[in-house]
Chain A
Amino acid sequence: MPLHIDHISLASPHIFRSADALARETGLGYWTGEWLRETSVNIVPLGPPGNFIEISGFVDIFALRSMTERRQWLLDITETGDHFNGLCLGVDSMEELEVFARHWKSEINRADNPDPAAHFQRANGYILPMASTPVTKRSVWMLGLPNVYYYPDRTRHSSGQPTHAIPNQVRPTGIKWVEVGGTAQQMADWLGGMHYVELLPLKFNGKSLGVWAVAVGAEGRDDIVIRRPAASDAVPVSRFTD
């Protein structure tokens, strides 16, 4: 696969209540137990070729005794409920990832970082190797922009793990489209060319930057459209222009 959508992050004030609500709304199952530092994600696989939503929130509120800009942002964007807070693109090789790193004049968060605390861990102890770019003073998610990931072990990708069985569960068949703020030109400027934008199933709504809706195919029923406001609707990206 060339550049593609890998996953979408949904920031939540309570990841279990949000996952339960999404499951009731859509019939999409999820799995639990993955965590990184003070946050955990409930993972909602979206079907082939391997996409997912990560419902992310704080599970160590004591970490908030030491406030950072990013923690404050996560708190602020979840103050009024769930908000989409990250569009995460994917590539299939380190070489492709390095192209984006060079474009952004950035380093790469390396998948082989030996510090286990730097990686997502699962309930079975598996530590998820994952490389990404750009590496910036503050996450580009806070500006409503996507970053890019490469997973060296695709067999353990979050999209392929079994979910809890839920009542009236549907079988997702993949992302149909993602509605984002801004314009195609703004996205092209960020990614380094309109040819990248044309690879992605994006619809642009002209609103503030970030994800606003995700449409997922499902076996035997109409597409599922998950609408939540973008994080930039709660905290304008202009807060982070310095």
Chain B
Amino acid sequence: MNIHIDHFSLSARNAFESAARLRKETGLSFWTGEWVRDISCHMVPLGNGPRGKDAFIEIQCFVDAHARRKDTRPNYRYDALSVDNEYNGDYWTGLMLGVDSLADLEAVARRLGGDVTPEDSRTNPYNHFQRPDGYVLSYQSAPRYPRGRPDKWPMDMPGFYFYPDVPGRSSNQPVVASPHMRTPAGVKWVTFGGTNELLSDWMGCDAETTIPVKFNGKAVGVWEVCVGMADGHDNVIRRPAAASVIPDDSKYRRAT
């Protein structure tokens, strides 16, 4: 099974502000307009590299104030973003791994005791990411835990994804041209919390030799992403992991 880094989720209070700030910091541009349910994403393609191919960052924020205010259930992302930090409340909220077939995804789900999300993008488009041109993004992910997330695993263990439409992937869409824009050349490495033992147990293989990951022993989740650049020095994007500000995640472990 070929497991690779697929994408990163960077949650922001305001994705528009966050993406503009990230571009000033790194030269990485983005495209806009993708949304699902009550969130929207600015997509930052990271280019293709030998070990981190075809990856991207989704900078996401809530865009439906009413939905959020009416939903009284505990919300992990909202609670993390409520804590101030030096990045205007930006937190890494996900490392997403990719596999190359539905069969691989189903094997991952079985091993982790969960399900695969249904492929209902044609019959239930509003449950999927969609773009302004009407394109509905088809993908499936695992593990989904219909009866709640097992206590064994921290909240921010990576999800696994399978995208059947590679040209339609978020990483392969054109970004907005802007001054001082730079050209990414793939993910070089990512710093993750926890240990190699924990992530390897989750991935079912040795994490360090499968993906370009380093560990800092802190709260589980992404802490740094190093992006190789075709036009000069690497970019290291540092933001705190969401778990670093959620001391007890037990109340968020509802069905997904």
Q: Render A122-164 as a binary contact track against B, CB cut-off 8 A, 1 for contact.
A: 0111000000000000000000000000000000000000001
Minimum distance in angstroms from B83 CB to a CB of chain A: 11
Check B68 for interface membership: any CB of A closer than 8 A: yes
A31 partner residues in chain B, CB cutoff 8 A: 132
Residues B68 and A61 in contact, CB atoms below 8 Å apart? yes
Check A15 for interface membership: any CB of B closer than 8 A: yes
B131 partner residues in chain A, CB cutoff 8 A: 164
Minimum distance in angstroms from A11 CB to a CB of chain B: 11
Check B63 for interface membership: any CB of A closer than 8 A: yes
Check B243 for interface membership: any CB of A closer than 8 A: no
B38 partner residues in chain A, CB cutoff 8 A: 14
Question: Which B124-154 residues have C-beta < 8 A from chain A?
Answer: 130-134
Residues A60 and B132 in contact, CB atoms below 8 Å apart? no
Question: Which B154-192 residues have C-beta < 8 A from chain A?
Answer: 176-179
Residues B32 and A33 in contact, CB atoms below 8 Å apart? yes
Residues A58 and B65 in contact, CB atoms below 8 Å apart? yes
Q: Interface SS of chain A: helix, strand, loop or mixed?
A: mixed
Minimum distance in angstroms from A66 CB to a CB of chain B: 12
Q: How long is the Cα–Cα vector from A30 to B61 in the complex, in angstroms? A: 20
B68 partner residues in chain A, CB cutoff 8 A: 61
Q: A123-B32, A124-B177 given as contacts; is B132 within 8 A of A19 (CB)?
A: yes
Q: Render A177-201 as a binary contact track against B, CB cut-off 8 A, 1 for contact.
A: 0000000000000000000000000
Q: A62-B82, A62-B89, A123-B32 given as contacts; is B66 within 8 A of A166 (CB)?
A: no
Residues B63 and A125 in contact, CB atoms below 8 Å apart? no
A86 partner residues in chain B, CB cutoff 8 A: none
Q: Interface SS of chain B: helix, strand, loop or mixed?
A: mixed
Residues B66 and A16 in contact, CB atoms below 8 Å apart? no
Please tell me which one of the listed residues B14, B66, B82, B179 contacts residue A125 in the complex, with CB atoms under 8 A apart.
Answer: B179
Please tell me which one of the listed residues A13, A35, A64, A75 contacts residue B16 in the complex, with CB atoms under 8 A apart.
Answer: A35
B69 partner residues in chain A, CB cutoff 8 A: 61, 64
Please tell me which one of the listed residues A16, A30, A38, A165 contacts residue B40 in the complex, with CB atoms under 8 A apart.
Answer: A16
Q: Render B1-32 as a binary contact track against A, CB cut-off 8 A, 1 for contact.
A: 00000000000011111011001000000111
Chain A residue with the shortest CB-CB distance to B39: A16
Q: How long is the Cα–Cα vector from A186 to B198 in the complex, in angstroms? A: 70
Check A26 for interface membership: any CB of B closer than 8 A: no
A59 partner residues in chain B, CB cutoff 8 A: 14-16, 40, 61-63
Residues B132 and A166 in contact, CB atoms below 8 Å apart? yes
Chain B residue with the shortest CB-CB distance to A79: B66
Minimum distance in angstroms from A215 CB to a CB of chain B: 24
Residues B64 and A13 in contact, CB atoms below 8 Å apart? yes
Q: How long is the Cα–Cα vector from A193 to B250 in the complex, in angstroms? A: 65
Please tell me which one of the listed residues A19, A30, A123 contacts residue B30 in the complex, with CB atoms under 8 A apart.
Answer: A123
Check B217 for interface membership: any CB of A closer than 8 A: no
Question: Which A22-49 residues have C-beta < 8 A from chain B?
Answer: 23, 29-33, 35, 38, 40
Please tell me which one of the listed residues B40, B65, B66, B178 contacts residue A124 in the complex, with CB atoms under 8 A apart.
Answer: B178
Check B74 for interface membership: any CB of A closer than 8 A: no
Residues A166 and B134 in contact, CB atoms below 8 Å apart? yes
Check A17 for interface membership: any CB of B closer than 8 A: yes
Please tell me which one of the listed residues B23, B42, B63, B176 contacts residue A57 in the complex, with CB atoms under 8 A apart.
Answer: B63
Q: How long is the Cα–Cα vector from A172 to B145 in the complex, in angstroms? A: 47
Residues B132 and A20 in contact, CB atoms below 8 Å apart? yes
Q: A14-B38, A121-B20, A124-B176 given as contacts; is B134 within 8 A of A167 (CB)?
A: yes
B82 partner residues in chain A, CB cutoff 8 A: 62, 65
A57 partner residues in chain B, CB cutoff 8 A: 63, 65
Q: Render B30-68 as a binary contact track against A, CB cut-off 8 A, 1 for contact.
A: 111101001010100000000000000000011111111
Sorted nearest first, the 9 A-B pairs with minimum C-beta distance are A60-B14, A164-B132, A32-B33, A35-B16, A33-B32, A16-B35, A62-B13, A123-B176, A14-B64
- Can you list 29 A-B contacts (CB < 8 A)? A13-B65, A14-B64, A16-B132, A19-B132, A20-B130, A20-B132, A30-B132, A32-B132, A35-B16, A38-B14, A40-B63, A59-B61, A59-B62, A59-B63, A61-B13, A62-B13, A62-B14, A62-B82, A62-B89, A63-B13, A75-B65, A75-B66, A78-B66, A121-B16, A123-B176, A123-B178, A125-B179, A164-B131, A166-B132
Give me 11 other A-B pairs in contact (C-beta within 8 A), A60-B17, A78-B65, A78-B66 excluded: A29-B132, A33-B176, A35-B17, A57-B63, A59-B63, A61-B13, A61-B68, A62-B14, A121-B20, A125-B23, A125-B179
